Amino acid sequence: MGAEQKLKDLGLELGPVGTPVANFVPTVQTGNLLYVAGHIAGKPDGSVLNPGKVGRDVTEEQAYESAKLAMLNCLASIRQALGSLDKVSQVVKLLVMVNADPEFDRHFVVANGASDLLVELYGDQGKHARSAVGMSGLPRKSCVEVEMIIEIGD
């Protein structure tokens, strides 16, 4: 079963891909690699899920859900670029940035919101290298931002 069907089976939908508000594009393909720009936990109505600093304004659990939504937004850009999520042959690398209170030290748990979804959709091909880092701030006060690199198959 492909990722598109698994997404439906999980009851998840991809929202529309928004137009970047700065000077960049959502994805860039070079060879068989697709680089996906940083995506926040933006909702279709333009608001941000759980804005603020993790460990102060946002709980670890809320940030995990925000990382999952940010990943869904990345997947929407992948589908737009490739036509189908089933063209992903391997998730290569994630960078998960967490807008965190300086005392917060569980960025890796927040990042699992994105990683767990990928492994659920792609199995072994969803396993990836990853960095999870704390930031002093993120666009639109988002508590998380995710960028990724994928390998494209046939």
Model confidence at 80: pLDDT above 80? yes
The reported pLDDT for the residue numbered 98 is 98
Domains and CATH numbers, the chain: 27-152 (3.30.1330.40)
The pTM of this model reads: 0.97
Which pLDDT tens digit goes with each residue over 101-152? 999 999 999 999 999 999 999 999 999 999 999 999 999 999 999 999 999 9
3-class SS shares of the chain: helix, strand, coil, % to 5: 35, 30, 35
* CB distance 66 to 58 below 8 Å: yes
Percent of the chain whose predicted confidence (pLDDT) is above 70: 100
Give Dmax (Cα) for the chain.
Answer: 45
Question: Which tokens hold the place of 82?
Answer: 């490739």
pLDDT of the residue at 21: 83
